[in-house]
Chains A and B, each alone.
Chain A
């Protein structure tokens, strides 16, 4: 066990996999000499050299497409897109190519590749640099979607993603890069996709928090306990595809209430999706409508006050949880 920051945990995941497997390489804008826009690839160029840590021109669609082509020919590229926002420039390669190729060529080509991208709001980066696209990528069949909230998960999931034979969209949160946490040593991580983490047990309401919102959900759960005597169960799905729906349903069947927290936009969001799945599969167990807490339905404003007003906070989650309990406490 070591205490690491998220960015270090992610870096270690890449370094360990690169040492283990010669076919793993890192490609992206400023991942080498600059050491990564968020310093996640720090030290990799020194250790692995330019052949395996490749700085690219600013050509997102071609960076991803090059990764797809290399994966088709048997390599395991780890593509870094500088931010989630820039991934929109590569959407053609991600959706029409990476996601479709294994299926449309009937399994003749596998794409063992990872596309990492940091996103999220909270840094006053304004409307084009603060997106949360978990739902966008979740929607596309053929892609896997990981969104780790702790350094331990960051490392384990990234290693699992690199070893996985599917194209993985790996979404990181910019404001979690500096967060610290205990991280198991090499060989002791649990490298599995599709397993949610129950961050806190409780019998009154289930709160599902995605990416950074898993931490906000935990904070809200503590407040619910201290201030309202409500014991919330907090679930961090960790991967949205594959989705550990069973753990979420099991919890809802116990608590009979659910709140879903995400940073992205409300329409067609992760919460909309989960709320439907929960309603379809556990309707008889629900004592209240499923509540969603999402980012505001606007482009992220620059002003600190407005930006914070647009992002979900502990307070919003507490209110939503209490709303599911109205009349019963």
Chain B
């Protein structure tokens, strides 16, 4: 038998060369090549296969990187905006300039609507309001110059507040400064609220007393002294929950001393801040000290 790979003579070679099988094979190869050139079936086949693998392939390359950066940029912007919106919401909840000042970070500013500003201005004690800005001047600004918004930030020394009354073009119509003294006056009427315990404010250290004792001594004092020590008792009546302890501040500023009234609103401790005249608070403090030692957290009236 003739070996398949070693034909013995030329005739055999010729027979094989012109065999039907080889011709068909050649035609097939030519058809494959020509059809590929004409119909691009290999590219189509490969392309179609690649489409099927597409979902499992990585999101890599320039366009995906750009997409990721865009997502990250939007997240950053959303964060900036949500912080801003949250702070604006908090600012809207503030019940006075002092409260706002407490919430503001040194470099932070807040935009108030003209209505909100008016509300805060009207809540100021008359003396403080007059000192801050004449109501006639404000009437002029709000009427003639169409004050649209008020931008508020801390003064460079961080103790007071500066307010810019703005028109629609963001141009300052008037700038007003609220000094630390005015803020303290503001505190007297607005009663600042803080979600904390008295111990968290070092100015009350060693001067925290049970509320029942405080109020019973207060009730025993002459009316003039009571009003001087706790000038706005209605603020305390507005507090939800029971007042448990009272702290007396250890600093005197402009003749007033800070008082802190700690209450439990549900499970949440809250301190209402107020200011009393130094002379009256001093007398009250003397009487408290005379009959009682200061108390620790949880020892107040239940």
Decide whether A and B assemble into one complex.
no
